[in-house]
Amino acid sequence: IGLGLFDVSGHGIASGLLTMLAKSIIFRIFNEGFHKDLVSVIEEVNKQLQNEMGAIDNYYISGILLRFKNNKIEYVNAGHQNILIKKENEVCQIMKEDGKKIMGSFLGIKDFYVVPFEQMEFQVEKGETLFLFSDCLVEEKSDNNYFGETGLKKALEAAPENGSAQEIMEFVLGEFYEYVKDKEKLHDDLTVIVVKRKI
């Protein structure tokens, strides 16, 4: 019925505990709020995370939440890297009709200037692929140069057009690891989700 990709700031035990807490809250509220709009869902997630994280300084969560409904996808973004979509040999970001990104505030920070959450809907046609990722994929360096969004888009464009989601992911990560040279020394957690519409 949907999927999410969320990223807790920092590393170590505290971040790990926050990850478990956030996963439980997001999963529960998403399922309880199936008949609510996604903005209401993410606002409730943020409220509960703020209550739970109130005594923990310098931590926040970014993320994307998608809900599959009928023939469309509902989408909210909380300070996270934007989704890419691969259409034939074209790769672009999911954007609003006015050409702007959909981007709300980080989650879990009390007394923080709030950029309102927005919901948008879009459609994925047969054979098209969604690509969700954590910031490690574009912020990792080699010889002081970032792989970056340019490198990611080139890799995704070159990925096999008729390949499965698994094959597309493996191709892009292969290009990434070849660029950074040593995948054992990444400076951040790396998460990638690839979704391809078959029918």
- At 140-187, the pLDDT tens digits run 888 878 999 999 999 999 999 899 999 999 999 999 999 988 766 788
Is the model's pLDDT at 128 over the cut of 70?
A: yes
Say if residues 43 and 26 touch (Cβ distance below 8 Å): no
Nearest CA to 106 out of 22, 171, 167 is that of 22
Percent of the chain with pLDDT over 70: 96
Positions of E strands within 60-135: 61-69, 72-78, 84-87, 90-93, 120-122, 129-133
User: Which pLDDT band, with edges at 50, 70 and 90, does 55 fall under?
Assistant: low
Is the model's pLDDT at 57 over the cut of 80?
A: no
As a whole number of angstroms, the distance between CA 175 and CA 38 comes to 34
Per-residue pLDDT tens digits for 78-115: 999 999 999 987 999 999 989 999 999 999 988 776 78
Is the model's pLDDT at 7 over the cut of 80?
A: yes
As a whole number of angstroms, the distance between CA 111 and CA 47 comes to 12
Choose from 9-13, 98-102, 117-121 the range with maximum mean pLDDT.
Answer: 117-121
Q: What is the pLDDT at residue 53?
A: 82
Q: What is the pLDDT at residue 183?
A: 64
As a whole number of angstroms, the distance between CA 151 and CA 175 comes to 9
Q: Which residue has the higher pLDDT, 124 or 57?
A: 124
Classify residue 134 as exposed, middle or buried by CB count within 10 Å of its CB (0-12, 13-18, 19+). Answer: buried
Nearest CA to 93 out of 108, 75, 70 is that of 75
